[in-house]
Amino acid sequence: MSVPIYLDYNATTPIAPEVANEILPYIHSHFGNPSSSYAIGRNNREAIEKARRQVANLIGALPEEIIFTSGGTESNNHAIRGAVLANQQKGKHMITSQVEHPAVTEVCKSLEKQGCEITWLPVDAFGKINPADVENAVRPDTVLISIMHANNEVGTIQPLKEIGELAKKHGVIFHTDAAQSLGKIETDVNELNVDLLSIAGHKLYAPKGIGALYIRNGVKLENLIFGAGQERGLRPGTENVPYSVALGKACELANKNLDGNKQHLFQMRQRLLDGLKDKVRTGIKLNADLDNCLPNTLSIAFEGVEAHTLASFISSRVSFSTGSACHADSVEISSVLKAMQTDRKTAAGTVRISTGKFTTKKEIDHAIEAISTAVNQLSHAK
């Protein structure tokens, strides 16, 4: 094919055509400040509130429980720092896992420096948390539990419903980073028993630079920034109308097409895996239990093949991620694979391939050919 086949949808997604079209009027003509009382301001206020309803509908929330942010990182920061700081009278202890995204782990490390205690829960060989470990970690001074819905590297889905029940039993606020799960699997805040949920628009076929945070009614958060009263006073500043509208439309599409999208993502991943198993002549190791995994995510290692070498070898044909960072004289294994106690050779050979709603059978077949040919050549060269 003339351009590299894109199979890194967990990193980011292209903007859906319907989303792009929804933005255009708010760039070209609908420029009013939503806080203004005249017509072009009121129209933009109505557009934001419509978008808020669209986001809420996707996750089973109330519109007033949604605030717009600049993305998943801000949402995670506000949820975690805001909850801990607002509940210091109870304590300064929180629980998270060893496989969270840096947008969570770095916030926690920052809080540790400010006197908070963090319990970092272990995971099993597939990156899954045991709810019993959560309950054992809860203390009288625990104010927050933050566990991602699905892992961005290996795709493992966490048992949020059970963890949420434990959090509710002990009166602990429960947050989840749902950046990877939204639009791929069912993500209902009431079914999952979560109090705070983070959304990243660019994982959902909306632009980069927009996100949302679900805050269950009654949950108190400390502000991160201060100003006027926008977003219930929790996220002040003139709203990003075009991108809020875009996220709303992306959520509407995800809600409408969830079952079809899930089936398509699964079929494309399965076609890829079956093709690789058929054509690759070296050993293959999966890093996740595909029965408890995002339908689009394949974390896989090829025996005797270094991931960065493979990615570089076929970069003009297929785009995907690796499970390690390559530096001048060393390979740094990802914290997720370390927490899973993946052996160093497997981790260094791990690639993450993630399909999307625009992935086609033709693209998958070309990717199978490119990857298998490269793997066979590189493993034979060893």
Which residues form the catalytic set? 326
* SS3 at position 152: coil
State the Cα–Cα distance between residues 44 and 32, nearest whole angstrom: 6
Instruction: Give the distance, in angstroms, between the CA of residue 206 and the centroid of all CA atoms in the same chain.
Output: 13
State the Cα–Cα distance between residues 122 and 118, nearest whole angstrom: 13
| Cβ proximity of 93 and 142 under 8 Å | yes
Element (H, E) at 175: strand 173-177
Q: Rg of the chain's alpha carbons, rounded to an integer?
A: 21
State the Cα–Cα distance between residues 157 and 106, nearest whole angstrom: 21
Tokens representing 372?
Answer: 């298998």
| Cβ proximity of 310 and 378 under 8 Å | yes
| Cβ proximity of 238 and 35 under 8 Å | yes
| Cβ proximity of 181 and 197 under 8 Å | no
State the Cα–Cα distance between residues 221 and 164, nearest whole angstrom: 19
Mark 177-199 as b/e (b = at least 16 C-beta within 10 Å). bbbbbbbbbebebeebbbbbbbb
